[in-house]
Amino acid sequence: MRESPGKGGGAIHVIDDANAPALGDIRGAGPDDCIYIRPAATSRKDFSKYWEAAGVALARGAFVSVLTRES
């Protein structure tokens, strides 16, 4: 999912069991971007790759939130 959150122009990325953006989009996220990792994402076979990419995004200044419950 990619949405513009307003004036900042950043992207919102949501990772879960059924949907996830391209790994390059997560890896390339920066200060104006938000990444939300839902609990169901851990069931993905490629979750470790997304986890690593989220770490790169965090180091680049992106906001990364690991959600503790499904909403």
What is the pLDDT of the chain when averaged over all its residues?
A: 90
Which of 63, 67, 59, 61 has the alpha carbon at shortest distance from 30? 61
Q: What is the pLDDT of residue 6?
A: 45
Model confidence pLDDT, tens digit, residues 3-56: 444 456 799 999 999 999 999 999 999 999 999 999 999 999 999 999 999 999
Distance between first and last Cα of the chain: 16
How confident is residue 71, by pLDDT bands cut at 50, 70 and 90? low
Prediction pTM value:
0.84
